[in-house]
Amino acid sequence: MDEKTVSTLERIQQAALDEFSEKGFLGASLRQIVKNAGVTTGAFYGYFSSKEALFASIVEPHAAALMGRFMEAQTSFAELPEEQQPDHMGVESSDCVHWMVDYICRHREPV
């Protein structure tokens, strides 16, 4: 994508993030998002098929990161020999929870 296209996409997503944060998903207005992004409705639909698709583009990368880290912790624990698991009970989950809290703090608005 060229620089102008990325800029337009970023403006739409930032306007949406602001609108979703202020009014929640149901209260957010696509018309207001488009207006605040400084784009036309046609330009919006060039990027997204719906408000739901826009919301997903903001939230899903973070949900995937969090779920991915959770699954890594689960797999890591499950791969330990059974006799080692009691000694590691809580270690992987504690590391995972700390990572998740740090991640959420770093990405507070979209999460």
Would residue 98 count as lying in a domain? Answer: yes
Mean pLDDT, each 10-residue run in order, the chain (111 residues): 69 96 95 96 96 96 95 91 88 89 91 80
What angle in degrees, to the nearest 10, is found between the helix axes of 51-79 and 91-106? 160
Q: Are residues 34 and 65 in the same domain?
A: no
Compute φ and ψ for 3, nearest 5 degrees: -60, -40
Rg over alpha carbons for the chain, rounded to the nearest Å, is 19
Q: Which residues contact 46 (CB under 8 A, 6 or more apart)?
A: none
pTM above 0.95, yes or no: no
User: Which residues span the domain enclosing 35?
Assistant: 1-48
Would residue 43 count as lying in a domain? Answer: yes
CATH number of the domain that 13 lies in? 1.10.10.60
Q: Are residues 44 and 73 in the same domain?
A: no
> Which pLDDT score is estimated for 4?
56
Separation of alpha carbons 89 and 97, rounded Å: 13
Place of tokens 């797999």: 75
